[in-house]
Amino acid sequence: MSFYGTTGIHRSHRKRLWGAADTLRANSNYASNEYFLPVMGLVFLRHAYSRFLAVKDDIEANLPKRGGKARALTKEDFSQKSSIFLRPEAQFDHLVSLPDSTDRVKAIIGAMESIEEDYDDPHEMLGKAQYVMANPPFNVDEIDAPKITNDPRLPFGLPGVNNRGKVSNGNYVWISYFWSYLSEKGRAGFVMSSQASSAGRDEAKVRQKLIETGDVEAMIAIRSNFFYTRTVPCELWFLNRDKPKKLRDKVLMLDARNVYRTVTRKIYDFSPEQQQNLLAIVWLYRGQSDRFLGLVSKYLRTVVDEGRACFELQGDGETLGMLPGFDWSISQLGGQLMGFLKTLGQSGPHAETLAELHKEQKLFHDDVQQFQVNIEKAAKQWEKAADSNAALNKLVEQLGPLAETSRDLIKQADLVYKLATRLIELCEADGKTKDNDVWVNRDVIRSRKAADEFRGLAVEQLKQVRYFWKQAHWLTERFPDAELCDVPGLVKVVDRSEIEANDWSLTPGRYVGVAPEEVDEDFDFEESLREIHVELEDLNTEAVTLAATIKKNFEELGI
């Protein structure tokens, strides 16, 4: 799934992984469903080795000693540290260092088998796990029922058996396993097919028994296209064996299908702030209003910081800030054009555009200066504001005009740049620039490029001001008292009687209702065009790939 962060490290890892996947697809003689298992095995071994190294030194430092000699490491030492014990032959560095003459496939299989030998009893972890996190396979129907009929990890019974002796659907096998592994204070979070939360017949009976334990804490519905290889929607299940007594018979239903960020035409994900906002709702459910208010305050502080960043000197300490830099670059571009414009006289097609450019640039210059003043005013307001809900609600309202100004400045910057480029086009239209000594084409191109670069930087920075204000506003608008309340189409806390009345369904959309239609005041036509352009680029890339494949197939057929 695409539940990844946006840090540089994560982006780098993601790029390397997808690069490796592209290489395999392009150069392997095997289909992806043939090589993905060994590849995932290697990924698992690398991850297990990283966890092993992370805790090994600490474990060894605290091992009991006899006669000055520490006892050998055991798997129990690592289990207590949420890690896996690895024999030397299963450690990743050992596998990487093997000479070319070694049968690496055999070595990798041996490494996996050694882990299986040390952890061959799946029942020994019953009731011991503090945390379980999983993304199990959905809707598996090939589990042999006789093999698990008496499995102690299935306290709620089997979720139905078909006429072939197979479990009809494995979803509730995995769910039962996760619940059974948890300790008395354990928590689990896992991804599950959206079909599971309302499945009927024997699956509904298992779900009922699970709900009656009081350990289902929250359900979150996720829209389709969050998986890289599947378009299906899904749901996040959260179990908590240590829920407060007052919440034992309640479940938080959170429908996040309308909360997403577009990555590509086929992929959506959550932005870091969207993840935080959904988490803030869970905080309110748990009565942690202070954390909710802390997040609102953090967003508002970021509004100020992002606003100040529009004026700060660039990394070298000498380059102008983004907004002053764009203003300056337009003036420089105008200076490059002025000598030639004087040769054209005061009338002609260029005159009206030049006058409009001067007017809009002065307005932009004055508004930028006022914006800087307002940013500093907002900083003082933030510093003086208390951490109370009333004070933060007021601050959100006070910073609203600042957010609107940042949006207006984006439109102004775009307009000023368009007028400048239109003026260049008018100058070049009749061909006179080619024979005029005061028109230095190279300098004009350089100045135009500099102005466009400053404009791009300024626009992206200004967007951040409004973006973080909108995050704070999103939270305070829906939860104005910093307390959890029903929000149509988003969230509702339901009790067991309501769940029972709805066939023991755990599907959030069944309870939260439909959100009222909202007018999109922030619709950005140019941004929409950019998204369409991205989609078109994706389609063009797919078309080229498909054409190459078809051509190759024809060549192989001798056609």
Lowest pLDDT segment from 16-25, 96-105, 150-159, 411-420: 16-25
CB 502 within 8 A of CB 477: no
Domain with CATH 3.40.50.150 in the chain: 123-287+484-522
- C-alpha 445/C-alpha 426 separation (Å) is 15
Chain position carrying tokens 């992984």: 17
Q: What is the pLDDT of residue 139?
A: 86
Say if residue 316's pLDDT is above 70: no
Indicate the range of 52-61, 402-411, 435-444 predicted with least confidence.
Answer: 435-444
Beta strand pairing call for 234-240 and 182-193: antiparallel
- Residue 64: pLDDT over 70: yes
Q: Where are the beta strands (DSSP E) in 396-544?
A: 491-495
Closest by alpha carbon to 215, among 190, 192, 193, 237? Answer: 237
* 360 in Cβ contact with 418 (< 8 Å): no
List beta partners, residue 236: 191, 220
More confident residue, 298 or 65: 298
Is the domain spanning 123-287+484-522 CATH 3.40.50.150? The answer is yes
Tokens of 1: 């799934």
In angstroms, the CA 414 to CA 419 distance is 9
The pLDDT tens digits for 232-266 are 899 999 999 999 999 999 999 999 999 999 888 88
Fold adopted by 302-483: Methane Monooxygenase Hydroxylase; Chain G, domain 1 (1.20.58)
Q: 281 near 484, Cβ under 8 Å?
A: yes
> 10 or 53, which is more confident?
53
Between CA 147 and CA 438 the distance in angstroms is 88
Q: What pairing do the DSSP bridges indicate for beta strands 129-134 and 182-193?
A: parallel
Which amino acid is it at 462? Answer: L
pLDDT in tens, 351-398: 888 899 999 999 999 999 999 999 999 999 999 999 999 999 999 999
- pLDDT class for 2, splitting at 50, 70, 90? very low
Burial 313-336 (b: 16+ CB within 10 A, else e): eeeeeeebbbbbbbbbbbebbbeb
Query: Strands, E, within 223-369: which ranges?
Result: 234-240, 250-255, 261-262, 268-269
First to last CA, the chain: 40
Q: What is the pLDDT, as a whole number, of residue 526? A: 62
pLDDT at 464 over 90: yes
For CATH 1.20.58, the residue range(s) in the chain are: 302-483
Q: Residue 172's pLDDT band (boundaries 50, 70, 90)?
A: very high
pLDDT for 6 equals 42
280 touches 292 (CB < 8 A): yes
Residue 363: predicted pLDDT: 96
- pLDDT tens column, 26-52: 777 777 666 777 777 888 889 899 999
Please report the sign of the dihedral spanned by the C-alpha atoms of residue 540, residue 543, residue 549, residue 555: negative
Beta carbons of 493 and 285 less than 8 angstroms apart: yes
